[in-house]
Chains A and B, each alone.
Chain A
Amino acid sequence: MTRDTILSRIRAATTLPANPAPAHHRARARLVTPGDEAIARFRANAEVKGATIIEIENLTALPAALARTIPDARTIRMNDPVFREMPWSDAGVTPLFGAATPDDTVALSRALAAVAETGTLVLASSAENPPSFAFLPEVHIVLISRSEIVGAFEDALGILHHRFRTNFPRSVNFISGASRTGDIGGRIVHGAHGPRRLIVAIC
């Protein structure tokens, strides 16, 4: 049986003297304390990657803030219950609930955490936040609350472990800026396959 053959070959090979013992210290990125410093660093690092950041005081302010940022958006795909009670019609936007379709141009997700270290959003897949929202439309909007912005990746892993232990949802997406490619002539072009634009709403 192939499996057992491969594993026994590996066992035979690894009885040879191992490479030098692992270092147990963990090289960590400069840690950032949660709070204002982390929010400022997250913001700066995400903006460097081309994300548009909007800060809102409360959730009811989201539709109007989005209408100012993307005035052409008439419909927005979303499915997280947190968005249900928002005043969308006041902002001239029709919310579309349910699964994404190929015709959607704008989608709205809620992040589980954000990492200041690199300006990265952490999304976990669910019926409320399907990963197709992050890749099918032209514009992806992500809501993150201030208290969920952490310093380093290890802090975000802590949140994931606390929430899921080791039973992860189908997809955990670390998103750092909008889709891009450098594959043609080495020049960076946005909107390769995923969204051309990433908007982060910090509440």
Chain B
Amino acid sequence: MTPTTSEFPANATRALTDSRLQSALAKLPGGLVAQRRAAVASLPEFEAMRNEATAIRDATLSNLAFHLETFEAKAIAMGSHVHWAADAAVACRIVTSICRTAGARLVVKGKSMVTEEIGLNPHLEREGLNVVETDLGEYIIQQRGEAPSHIIAPAIHLTEADVEADFRRYHDHLANDRPLGSSDSLVAEARAVLREKFLAADVGITGANFLVAETGSSIIVTNEGNGDLTQILPRVHIVVATIDKVVPTLSDAMTLLRVLARSATGQDMTAYTTFATGPRRASDLDGPDECHIVIVDNGRTEMLASEMRAALRCIRCGACMNNCPVYNAIGGHAYGWVYPGPIGAVLTPALLGIAETHHLPHASTFCGSCESVCPVKIPLVSLMRSWRERAHDRGLQSVTSRAVASCWSYTARHPALYHLIARFAVAIGGSLGRAKGRFRKLPFARGWLKHRDLPAPQGRTFQQLWKETERGVPR
């Protein structure tokens, strides 16, 4: 998809006034957020597991080439074909060529963020293939021609009524007067339509939550079972995964799985966790004849060589966006590309370049909620701050914000000047605002004051108060 990351302020403004989006987003705090909190509260070891998960990811990234080579050797020994792709274009070409060799016409897909990132669907469609997303949320947004608005709940921005309207338009071979008023009937209809696709498909494409070096397996987790039908029924199974997905052992994978589902949906395990290893064996009654694994770099080696390495720990649970006040206010599409929320604000500049994406690291109050729920403790706030610094250094911000930042920086480095200005502001502000105790209007702050009042200063500066308490004088 064409990124609209450079239009973030306009996207966000539009999202804030979209009442249907706002009613869909209003379900987040009582849904995924509350479910995660309950799951974590019921597992006393959760914090220890977060630490363990973080250590596994760090240790693996520190020795990534070794683990990838181990994975590759084992996967080949188990009968898989392993391909390497330096960037999106090469990855798309590899997948196309596998589909062509297989004589494929219909491709079914399991949910995969990396294939969104590399733009696989439009590529395959240009090559004349019919591509069908089978995760229900992905299927819905594919019909609408939209990107996912959330990494685990791609259609979270839509209501049941939206989906009903889409299904009536898209499934025009079905009776017009059929009842579709409940999510049960919508799911049943999608199940029936997609079952036909599964049975007819030539190629199934999935991502991987993890690649296990020890066994040469790919792991996918789903609740619907669509990923499994995708990798059981078609003749050819293609796994697309980035280099950071590898874990050394099954035991490591289990520790990560223990924190993944709890962080994502509040489940202790998703319904289906599947370890797929190679093509069908001679005696098997089902499974694909060929298994291909495409290992994609697409910017990860650059992240690995920079302070952004910590973001490669990400296991794509979505907890950071569920708990982000900015994401909760504007949803995922405003971020303008594939990865929304705090992880998107870190990952997208690394993958698309800061020039086009410099608004995203500013889409944060730096409240730290994202870090506090991240199952692999990615320092999202400091990584966003680092992108802000890089954007500033490159002169990407507006003249006004650069001027303000420069003034602030100068003042902050000169305490005497800072103190003088603070005392002046407190004295003036205090005397002007004393009558009402707050300001409704101030010069240069109309936008900020549109939704809130600024309390008037109450006599003394923070530094004055600090000095008094330091001397033991109670306030």
Contacts and interface: CB of A to CB of B under 8 A. Distances in A.
Partners in one complex: yes
A9 B301 contact: yes
B155 A171 contact: no
A110 B121 CA distance: 38
Contacts of A25: 52
A3 interface: yes
B45 A29 contact: yes
Contacts of A20: 55, 58
Interface residues of B, number: 98
Interface in A72-104: 79, 98-100, 102
A79 B285 contact: yes
A194 B284 contact: no
Interface stretch (A52-60, A62-70, A128-136, A142-150): A128-136
A179 B271 CA distance: 6
Contacts of A34: none
A162 interface: no
Contact of A169 (B68, B159, B255, B277): B277
Given A23-B55, A125-B284, A182-B223, A194 B136 contact: no
A187 B27 CA distance: 10
Interface centre among B44, B74, B183, B302 (most CB of A within 10 A): B183
Interface stretch (B227-235, B357-365, B437-445): B227-235
A118 B277 CA distance: 24
Contacts of A173: 228, 272-275
B280 interface: yes
B214 A14 contact: no
A98 to B, nearest CB: 7
Contact of B284 (A3, A127, A175, A185): A127
Nearest to B295: A6
B195 A10 contact: no
A38 to B, nearest CB: 16
Interface in B456-473: none
A105 to B, nearest CB: 13
Contact of A183 (B78, B135, B270): B135
B187 A176 contact: no
A183 B137 contact: yes
A9 B306 CA distance: 12
Interface of A: 2-3, 5-7, 9-14, 16, 18-23, 25-30, 45, 49, 79, 98-100, 102, 117-118, 120, 125-127, 130-132, 134-136, 153-154, 157, 160-161, 166-187, 189, 191-195
Closest 5 CB pairs of A and B: A194-B225, A13-B305, A192-B224, A183-B137, A22-B59
Given A23-B51, A134-B225, 17 more contacts: A2-B84, A7-B65, A10-B65, A19-B62, A21-B59, A29-B258, A153-B254, A166-B214, A168-B217, A171-B274, A174-B275, A176-B272, A182-B223, A189-B187, A192-B191, A192-B226, A194-B271
